[in-house]
Structure 1
Amino acid sequence: MFNFRKRVLLPFLAAGMLVFLGACGSGSANTSGGSGTETSHTSEEGEAEKMLTLVKDGTAYVTVVAEDSTGGAIADAIETVTGVRPPIAAPKAAPADGIRLFVRNASGTDAAGLPDGGAYFGYRFTLANGDCYLTAYNDRILDEAVTALTERLSSYYQNGALTVSSSDSFAVPVAECRRDAGTVPVLVGSRCEGLYDCSDRLYQVICRNVTADGFSAWCDGLAAAGYTEVSRTNRADNDFRTYTASDGAVLYASRIGHSSEARLFTSRTYTLPPTDGESQAICTPLVKQLDASGTNQNEGMGYIFRLSDGRFIIVDGGYKSNAAAKEIYDFLKANAPDPAHIRIATWFISHYHGDHIGALIRFAENYADDSSITVESFMANQCLTNSMIGYCNTENGAILTHTTTLRTYYPNAVFYKPLAGQQYVFADAKIDILYTICDFMPETIPNEPDTTPTAQKKGDYNTETMVAIFTVEETTFFFMGDTVKTACDEMCARYGETLKCDYVQISHHGIGKTNPNIYEPRRENSTEEIYRLIAPDYAFLPCSSAKRDERMAFTVNRYLKSFLTKYWCAGDEGGDVTLEIPMAGKR
């Protein structure tokens, strides 16, 4: 039982704009207004304990304030216990007088009115300002909170009166969230939707209606809360900031300009991006498009960068075949400054479809015991929620197995989970993350075999594609993976003209719509608008030569061709091209 008398009020930060652990409620005090009664008595410890009489002698003195059916559930429970049904009001119609029982999700706007909480991480019932508050971090947890309160109501009813006291307050945290995420300072002045599990012990709070000034003021107050700023980046009118807390937690805060939303990520186990790009240049940087026409490699996708310090970055790789794995292995051996000491700085996995990650798995199986090759890190962001696992396992049977395989074969590698707005630096290469599945939340991917237009419009597993701009020396490469229209639309709105790049990898193997006027599941991929903003000079087409003309005939790709000086189809003779990347100052 949560004892109000023994609570320590958390300090308000940034002139009252910051409260820990997301609470919810109104800031207006109610001192026994209307017919309701608020009394207090002194406890043995000498502290005043508040008491509110909600129902007495057949009269309800409380109004249940809720936005949906949860209010009715509470009113029904009160009627069952007392025989009196209290009135219900929507938040905007809540009475100014009398006792109010607020039933709602966490809301930063209301957080400053409460002295303590935990709404981002569970649910709670408490008394404050002459009212009662039942709050939770999302609708599912709010249902649990309603059940918990209704189960307690009978114990509050004695001698014809339903009375609650501050000692009746209770809080139930979601244990794994508190353990893995720690605390999240509440962004006051916003509408917080709640906390979402991004898997890998990373949690996200989404806040709406966040002004630029409000976000900056909140960030300014983090120092007083024990946070240290690690990095800050801006792209277009988006603000991305990283903080570490004294308790070891990482807080990554972003404000998206076009939508005025903030996405706050927190974890106690998160690995921050590498930032040290200093290295000695010993060779000319290269980029290679892997062959897509080999055995079982018809629609694979893979790219390799050689950096000026001799290390490599690999993007996806292709299907799970010996031929695909050997192509990667042979390129590394042939192009490493020292074939006896090959270092892969990172292996970037756009998503876990077999035509992207398969070659990596076979490479691990065939070459992980080759002591001349070291894989230093992996970059992947796959949210292993039940719905997403179900989809991936239906199609590939792989996502959990792949993750376990990589950790087994490469136990010393660092596993990064990138987020939009972050920059990863490896020698003379910078990888700017534009979009991950976390940006799709709170939407979820429908499971196979649900191919109805309604389900498919929410996205398919390609929605998990991580999109990034790679900058090597001064040359920029836009890697789209199998990104879908939903992601393209968001990136266009979010980043605008800053998407401009020299090269683009054509999305989803060049697959496009056959009829631009109708919705076509699994073909809703790139858009003319995103190609207009990228405005590339060159393009890579990861498909077979047999499908090249068909793919480039799609309307969106015909539009793209209007920008291009040249493009390379991976399945063509010479399509597995290796290009030198001009070094800075040597163009």
Structure 2
Amino acid sequence: MKRTLFYIICTICMLTIFLPACGANSSTDNVTTHKKQDTGDLPIEEWTEDNVLACGRDGRIVSYYEKTYDQYLDMCNYYSENGYEIYTSSEKNGNFFTTMTQGAQRVHIYWIACEEELNIITSYKQGALMPPAQPVNGDDQKATTVTPVYSENMSEMGYVIQLADGSFIIYDGGSAANADKLLGILTELSNGSEIIVRAWVLTVSLPDHYGCFTQFATEHADKIKLEYTISAPVCSPLAIAGKQTYLTNDLEQDVAKFAGAVSCYVHTGMTFYFCNVKLEILFTPEEIYICDAPTHKEFHNTSIVSRISTDNKSIMMLSDSGIHVARRLAIYYGENLSSSFCQMSQNGNSDFPQYVYNIITAGDSDKLVRTDSSVIVLD
């Protein structure tokens, strides 16, 4: 959808209007985008909580174009002066990201340099549902490993990452048929210790990704300690249009089956720390789908793209992302995408372009990972 540039607006006016609404009283192919409405057609004095855009399950988003890095800083400073504290802040390839919280409220502010685009995403609830800003460390005695959850259906996705203290991060799991297999992997790797899952990342609302989670919640929720789920659902109208509503409408009832678990909804540029690893959220669906809904066929482009890093190595997790996501990744991040390993989108069956794989892996095919790959060590 062709964007209309939103011409320069007084920063103070912008903040005064929006802050109450958020609860504070080498290829450069043309990028196909369905991103954001033409906000320039909406006079700033008419911005209210009712007409800023829904984002995900409980967020609100506003985007501005032709904004500078200094205006990004002004926005961060304004929230800081109004009692928000920095949760994490980072820079990637000249793009800047800051997440701030105040009690139950959260604001995520980021600026994309190549588009001079300033985004502000708010939530009334997520501030109280974030993982600790600093990692919780136990006794670091384990190698940090990535174990694929193999399935004969090679379109499925499932990976178990064991951290240095023996706890886990799970990516998806695959279909419902994999629930017992996943429990077996966790049991074997934990070697008799309590199974602690720091985060279960549900990358996309497709049954060959979340099916294992929902079946596991029904049959095995009492066998593990799950702390957080991490997901990036599209808002309800878009999920309904795309005929994939699980993450948006049904996830919470399964999360409730795990005693003490909470749901953290993430956005582009957020950073989290678990034990000895850093989890970077590099891309979430609001970068493409905010107004126009993804079709059922292209719903794979609503995948989270993320990266897990230790001090020594990293793995890029592409989920099912396709060409539209890949092009934006290359334009936004460039060589910053470089990683030790890369999970192949749809196990190599997607339209994810080779040139972006080459950026991530420096052209080394041995760095590409599928669910039939061997265990990877990230130490």
Change (3 A) 1:211 1:362: same
Which one has more relative contact order, counting CA pairs under 8 Å at least 6 apart?
2
Equivalence map 1:230-309=2 (5 Å): 230-245=87-102, 248-270=104-126, 271-279=129-137, 280-293=139-152, 297-309=153-165
Give 1:411 deviation, angstroms: 4.8
1:417 and 2:265 are equivalent in the alignment: yes
Could you tell me which of 286, 309, 320 is aligned with 2:176? Answer: 320
Question: What's 1:408 paired with?
Answer: 256
Q: How many Å separate the matches in 2 of 1:284 and 1:411?
A: 28
Looking at CA atoms only, which structure, 1 or 2, has the larger radius of gyration?
1
Counterpart AA for 2:164: S
Where does structure 2 lack aligned partners over 5 or more consecutive residues? 23-35
Question: In the alignment, which of 304, 307, 327 is matched to residue 466 of structure 1?
Answer: 304
Aligned counterparts of 1:241 and 1:364: Cα–Cα separation in 2: 33
Q: Which position in structure 2 is the counterpart of 1:338?
A: 192
Give the match for residue 384 of structure 1. 235
Distance 2:255 2:376 in 1: 32
Give the 3-state SS of the residue equivalent to 2:141 in structure 1: coil
What residue identity is the alignment partner of 2:192? D
Write out per-residue CA displacement over residues 481-524 of structure 1, whole angstroms, 9 at most, x where no aligned residue: 00021111111111111110111111122125xxxxxxxxxxxx
Matched positions, count: 358
Pick from 423, 430, 434: which aligns with 2:278? 430
Pair 1:579-2:376 in alignment: yes
Normalising by structure 1, what TM-score? 0.55
Aligned-residue offset at 1:220: 3.3
Distance in 2 between residues matched to 1:507 and 1:563, nearest whole Å: 16
TM-score, length basis structure 2: 0.83
Segments of 4+ in structure 1 off by > 6 A?
Answer: 113-116, 137-140
Q: Within the alignment, does 1:533 sit opposite 2:359 as a pair?
A: yes
CA contact (8 A) 1:198 1:385 kept: no
**Alignment correspondent of 1:348:** 201
**Offset, 1:568:** 5.8
Q: Is the 8 A contact 2:163 2:275 kept in 1?
A: yes
- Structure 1 residues not aligned, in runs of 5+: 1-104, 123-136, 146-169, 178-193, 452-459, 513-524, 537-561, 583-587
User: Paired residue for 1:109?
Assistant: 9
Q: Which amino acid aligns with 1:392?
A: K
Residues 232 and 408 of structure 1, relative CA distance in 2, 3 Å threshold: closer
Displacement of 1:224 in angstroms is 3.6
Instruction: Tell me if structure 1 keeps the 8 A contact 2:157–2:209.
Output: yes
Residues 116-144 of structure 1: CA deviation (Å, up to 9, x unaligned)? 7579959xxxxxxxxxxxxxx9779x89x
1:386-445 Cα distance to aligned partner (Å, 9 max, x none): 13223134xxx6445641432331252021111111111110111111000121243422
Counterpart Cα distance in 1 of 2:316 and 2:158: 13
- Give the C-alpha shift of residue 570 in structure 1: 3.5
Describe the SS at the equivalent of 2:222.
coil
**Equivalent-residue separation in structure 1 for 2:14 and 2:266 (angstroms):** 35
What is the percentage of aligned positions where both structures have the same residue? 18
What is the CA distance between 1:114 and its match in structure 2? 10
Q: Which residues of 2 match residues 60-209 of structure 1 at below 5 A?
A: 109=9, 173-174=48-49, 195-209=52-66
Conserved in 2, the CA contact under 8 Å of 1:375 and 1:413?
yes
Decide which of 339, 349, 369 is 1:511's aligned counterpart: 349
Find the aligned partners of 1:269 and 1:113 in 2 and give their Cα distance: 25
**Against the structure 1 CA distance between its residues 326 and 527, is the aligned structure 2 distance closer, same or farther, given a 3 Å change threshold?**
same
2:146 touches 2:376 (CA, 8 Å); kept in 1? Answer: yes
Query: RMSD in angstroms over aligned alpha carbons?
Result: 3.3
The one-character-per-residue Cα deviations of 1:227-267 (angstroms, maximum 9, x if unpaired) are 4334321111011112334x753221101111110111112
Distance change in 2, residues 1:172/1:334 (3 Å): closer
Is the 8 Å Cα contact of residues 310 and 337 (structure 1) preserved in structure 2? no
Q: For residues 188 and 48 of structure 2, what CA distance do their matches in structure 1 show?
A: 55
- d(CA) in 2 for partners of 1:462 and 1:325? 22
Q: Tell whether 2:344 aligns with 1:496.
A: no
Q: Which residue of 2 aligns with 1:150?
A: none
Distance change >3 Å, CA 299–CA 273, structure 1 → 2: same
Distance 1:205 1:377 in 2: 27
Residue matched to 1:24: none
Match for 1:338: what amino acid? G
**Does 1:361 pair with 2:214?**
yes
